[in-house]
A and B are shown apart, each in its own frame.
Chain A
Amino acid sequence: MNATRRQVLMFAGGSAVGVMFTPAPWRLITDTALWSENWPGIPAPPRGEIHTRFTNCSICTAGCAVRARCVGDQPVELAGVAGHPISRGALCPFGIVGHHLPYIPARLKEGPVGQAAAAIAGGLAKCGPAEFVVTLDLQPGRTASWTYRRAMGALKNGRYIAPSVDAQVAVDLSKARTVLSFGVPVLDGWGTPGIVNAARAGFRLIQIDAVESRTASMADRWFRVRPNSEEVLAAALAGRISPAQAADATGLAVAEIAALAQELEQGGPVLVLGSSQLESTVGTVVARHETPVPGEWKKSAPVTDLASLPDRSVRVLLIDESMPGGYLQWSAIARKLVADNPVVVTFAASPEGYARHANYALPVAVYPEVSGDVPPAIDSVASTFRIASPLVSPPSGMVNPESFIATAAGLSTGDTLRERADAIHKSARGAVFTYADGQSQPLKDMKPDDFWKVLNAGGCWIDEPGAQTAAKLTFGTAARPPEEESDLPLAIVVARETASGIPLLSKVYRESNLRLAPGYVALNPACGLEDGSQAIFETLLGKATVGVTLDSGIPPGVAQVSATPALLDLCAAGARAKVVRS
């Protein structure tokens, strides 16, 4: 057969068109996509034996029980432990991504350990009779806290400072029919998620808040008061001032205040949170037994507060911010430091806290790299002892603040966690809940070694419940002073968030608008600024560059500030601010 040139071209053209009607080219495109799946930029998940380990979350004092799914030695997923008598299988959003905490981008990886030790020794030698060596513990109630107290007790001028938390007092949400909260984030990070959610159906929540917080939005009733006027309302409810005076200060109507007072009278037992003016009904507040400690530990420095120290009296300041906790404003601390060359050493995972002000910032291991106990939660009616066992190894060069401070003070310590576990075992009180099998057994039926083993492999000692009492609980808010005299236009409300910096938390504040991002200020849309723009946030204490989020839930005249240390340093209680275009 003789094919003409025309026929060859027609065949080729026809084939080209015809092949488009076959799956071949389309499969080729698919295959191209398949190749791209293996681009070197795509990380490959690790392979290995999958097994389960248990620990306790130490990001906050809720100390929720954690079940970690591990591949080899690496935890890849965290979840709660179902059946746990306290945490009841729940984890908060920060606990869900707690295993990412070692990967915060700004993590401190090295520090001048030798120079810091030498500076402390020099400071101790130079310390005058009216000067102090102070340890500031942002997460009191731990075994490490006892070591700090002992270390400071061993020094002539040692003082132990902690945010004012009474570790022996707890709330019993199950006994309350009404919870009256003055700005306390009851449903968003205040207590143990498992306990709060289990008790939620049993109480009516009345939230007093200047902005529509997450708790306010879920409360049965929300009273929007003027910022920093919560204590005035509490005084009116306590009968110390008239409803008319409170109405002037809070912006509520007199009839609303009267109705609220009546509601509280009829809705008892009432648990009051966040106010020093009102007492809770007897039964809703519990005095826990103290978690036992070895007898010799009792010879230690008492817990004092920063305000009790004279100004310009602190020669050496050691700050343990290895566990997220309360934050004391730097200006309040700075005025306590001596004028000539004070030594400030902070133990921190990130340079964003006190490391900005310290002479030496020493890097520390964080959850879940470090072994340490978690103090009892505010809403646990019984004392507890839980150990956050490490799930991964810390990087090299990390400093253990407990042993560092003990050594600096000349205190010799052994395995303090084990010593405390033995002291608890000697008390023979309470029961031990084991996470792996979900069983509880009385402590008196266990041997000390078995108890220690259970604590480290995922277990919790739960004491007998404490006695019921009445108390004023100001957790979550200090007593609020009246607003400062200032011509700045905005009242400040702080949004409480914890554990910022974990990379995946960007899902809830940058890739969505569920939470206020670190370094951001939320304003009413009528403020004149654009959503997402940069602005200057200014108070009488200084200024900082912030991002702006517009939220119609923020009333005009109010700035809601994310609780990052840099911004908290500018926000004294009752402070006012202005936010201007940068």
Chain B
Amino acid sequence: MTSANKPIRAARYGMTIDLDRCNGCGACMLACAVENNVPPAHEAATDRKGLTWLRVYKVDNGEAYPGRRTAFVPVMCQHCGNETPCVHVCPQQAVDIDPATGVVGEMPQRCLGCRYCMAACPYHARYFNWWDPAWPLGMEKMLNPGVTPRMRGVVEKCNFCHGRWHAAKEAAAAAGKPDTPVEYTPACVEACPTGAIHFGDLNDPGSTVAKEAAEPGSFRLLEKLNTQPKVYYRSQKEWVRQVASAPRPSAAKEKDRG
């Protein structure tokens, strides 16, 4: 049997995020940007044109004080496992799902920048690169060598830290286990100071994420669309779970703006 047709045990990497533990500090957003060489904001960037593979939205229950409560919802690519909208609409086949990991990948080299995928994504988790990536003079020396910076005019998104997965895969291959799912930790998970984010193989029933995803308080964003996201959220608060059904977590903020 050659390695080409050797059966591979597929992983289904996923995440659980405990919203009751998230204090909205933003460490995950910054760690994500550092890991993936996402540049600082262009001077014309706004919260609508920003490049944040992971964005923490501040949401509230809509009530006035004393009933008002706030929560923070980290949203990244949900890595849909069923009828993945961005994969279907991409005319360049620049988006695909890795059968070995379940991760929805983005190939910026193929991307034409048509932004169909952004329109199709119900989670608003894809971002268009409006400007050439630029860092203050000298700061390029601090870029992560495991990830190539992307050019202007392409769409970017979370890939569960593919560079880290690759490094773990190489280490596993060097250890003589090339075909088994590897354990690794994405940057946001490592950075979260409250331990709100867990990551692992949802196919492994013994993993923390598989157990937490199966718990009663666990839910996914826009479940009704049946896209089967691999990012699970948890909260004991009913209103937080209801917000997750809204089209976009920042809806309340936009309403304020009129």
Chain A 549-571 near chain B by CB (<8 Å), digits 1 or 0: 01111010000000000000000
A-B contact count (CB 8 A): 201
The answer to whether A212 touches B30 (Cβ under 8 A) is no
Interface centre among B27, B139, B147, B151 (most CB of A within 10 A): B27
Q: What are the residues of chain A within 8 A of B149 when measuring CB–CB?
A: 42-43, 45
The answer to whether B47 touches A511 (Cβ under 8 A) is yes
Judge whether B81 is part of the interface by a CB distance below 8 angstroms: no
Among B4-12, B129-137, B172-180, B217-225, the one that faces the other chain is B129-137
Judge whether A41 is part of the interface by a CB distance below 8 angstroms: yes
Judge whether B52 is part of the interface by a CB distance below 8 angstroms: yes
Chain B 46-67 near chain A by CB (<8 Å), digits 1 or 0: 1101111001111010000110
A187 to B60 alpha-carbon distance, docked (Å): 18
Judge whether B214 is part of the interface by a CB distance below 8 angstroms: no
The answer to whether B135 touches A555 (Cβ under 8 A) is no
Query: Which residues of B (221-258) have their CB < 8 Å from a CB of A?
Result: 250, 252-253, 256-258
The answer to whether A218 touches B23 (Cβ under 8 A) is yes
A15 to B62 alpha-carbon distance, docked (Å): 62
Interface centre among A41, A71, A194, A506 (most CB of B within 10 A): A506
Query: Which residues of A (85-101) have their CB < 8 Å from a CB of B?
Result: 90-93, 96-97, 99-100
A71 to B68 alpha-carbon distance, docked (Å): 47
Query: Which residues of A (19-54) have their CB < 8 Å from a CB of B?
Result: 26, 29-30, 33-34, 36-37, 39, 41-48, 50
**Chain B residues touching A, range:** 35 or more
Among B35-43, B96-104, B197-205, the one that faces the other chain is B35-43
A42 to B38 alpha-carbon distance, docked (Å): 12
The answer to whether A224 touches B65 (Cβ under 8 A) is yes
The answer to whether A525 touches B27 (Cβ under 8 A) is no
Judge whether B143 is part of the interface by a CB distance below 8 angstroms: yes
The answer to whether A46 touches B56 (Cβ under 8 A) is no
Q: What are the residues of chain B within 8 A of A91 when measuring CB–CB?
A: 27, 191, 193
The answer to whether A512 touches B68 (Cβ under 8 A) is no
Judge whether B168 is part of the interface by a CB distance below 8 angstroms: no
Judge whether B183 is part of the interface by a CB distance below 8 angstroms: no
Query: Which partner residue on chain B sits nearest A253 by CB separation?
Result: B66
Judge whether A356 is part of the interface by a CB distance below 8 angstroms: no
Which residues in B have some Cβ–Cβ distance to A below 8 Å? 23-27, 29-31, 33-35, 37-38, 40-41, 45-47, 49-52, 55-58, 60, 65-66, 68-72, 92, 108-112, 132-154, 187, 190-191, 193-195, 250, 252-253, 256-258
Can you give 11 A-B contacts (C-beta < 8 A)? A41-B133, A45-B140, A78-B34, A90-B193, A193-B194, A214-B23, A504-B33, A507-B40, A510-B45, A511-B41, A555-B65
